[in-house]
Amino acid sequence: MKEAQRFPGDYDGISAGAPANNWVPLMAYAAKVQRLLTDPATGLTQPQLTLLKEAAIAACDARDGVTDRVIEDPRSCAFDPSTLQCKAGDSANCLTAPQVETVRSIYAGVVNPRTRETLMPGPPPAGELLWFAYRPNAFPIGVNYWRDLVKRDANWNPASLDFDADIARARELDTAEMTTTNSDLKDFFARGGKLLLWHGWTDGLIPAQNSITYYESVLVTSGAEAKTSMRLFMLPGVDHCNGGEGTYRMDALSVIDAWVESGQAPERIVAQRPLQGGAQRTRPLCPYPRVARYRGQGSTDDERNFECRAPAGR
């Protein structure tokens, strides 16, 4: 992303998967999730995160016409975590009221408490298992950033993060432009540059909506060439870069190579997922905002039985 924005002459084609370009708000998101999950009063265990994921899939899986543990566009999933709240006398396979509020807070992303501006969108349902990476000693990037680079306090901890003043301070200190969200790519596109963006919908480390927001900002800022020189592909059911319930194996290098060398703009990318017994599922990935829809006949493990369509209601 930095190359396309600041050094447009370096590359003819760029593939950027699950980019961490909105750096300061993303680090605030990491600290927030870590704080919530490690608080004894609000934290969730790995089995409880599994419970959440399974409940979300059960609630929303069939909405796209195929029951396959994959939610094509999770923004259409109106999953309410309170359906898992413990009833009187329950203690297993349920969430306490504070835990339900933890889940809702993570889904909401990072919001400035003073201005109410959403700084980083939250993750959609069905990627909850990845939140466990934010537990201490597992995924400390957010804590290290605030403790060592911004606050420079060895005793700092996520509980003290101010989502207004500390974020403003981090932006002031970001002289290296680690936050890479400049949407003006006119120079990159003018010299023929191609940008392939892609992001797994169930990415619990970098919320997928961040890539959509950036993509849409480039369309507004960079003019008509952005529509022909940039594509965004959302990967249903795919976690951070790979893995998850969806078809997560894709050859992004071949796609960007064909686009640059032969002018073949990607209108459909075939992705794979291994199944038990050596079988394989294939599905088409569609350029945003189009989504894959089952034609109604043939195996749902064969991409030829799906077509890219405009999403209903969008």
What are residue 25's phi and psi, to 5 degrees?
Answer: -60, -35
In this prediction, residue 136 carries a pLDDT of: 77
In this prediction, residue 53 carries a pLDDT of: 97
CB atoms within 10 A of CB 219: 15
Contacts with 60 (C-beta within 8 Å, 6 or more apart), sequence order: 71, 74, 76, 77, 78, 79, 125, 126
**Number of residues assigned to the chain:** 314
In this prediction, residue 138 carries a pLDDT of: 74
List of the chain residues with pLDDT < 50: none
* pLDDT, tens digit, 9 for 90 and up, residues 304-314: 999 999 987 65
